[in-house]
Amino acid sequence: MSDVTIYHNPACGTSRNVLAMIRNSGEEPQVIEYLKTPPDRATLERLIIAMGITPRELLRKKGTPYEALSLDSTLWTDAQLIDFMVQEPVLINRPIVITPLGTRLCRPSEAVLDLLPQPQQGAFTKEDGEAVIDDKGARIAKP
């Protein structure tokens, strides 16, 4: 079993890029499609603590009922925001990656590179054509 886990949405380009970078490091992660198998409240709370972020920082706005539920309101407590994410997992931003080096919401996708125990095994280009890793496995600096 892999030491790497990704909370993944296959419909999300960022999530697909992160999964591909994990695999480019030689890891075959445990993939949890969190819309099909959502985390329970205790797991979600542990993930938030491990990432060192607030529940509000984990909320996804785009393509979710965020606006319809008025989740931008400061009236909602952290516990209530977690309740919403448990009830509507689409509100959980992704991808979340767990490795022996930490737990992180990997947006942008390159954030996963700091979490991977093994280096990239070869060149990597994101789905949008942006080169991220060169043919020697080194990160390409952004201009």
The set of catalytic residues is: 12
Q: How many CB atoms lie within 10 A of CB 101?
A: 13
In the chain, the N- to C-terminal Cα span, in Å, equals: 38
Within the chain, residue ranges assigned H as helices are 13-24, 41-51, 55-58, 78-87
**d(Cα 63, Cα 78) in Å, to the nearest integer?**
21
**Side chain identity at residue 107, one-letter code:** R
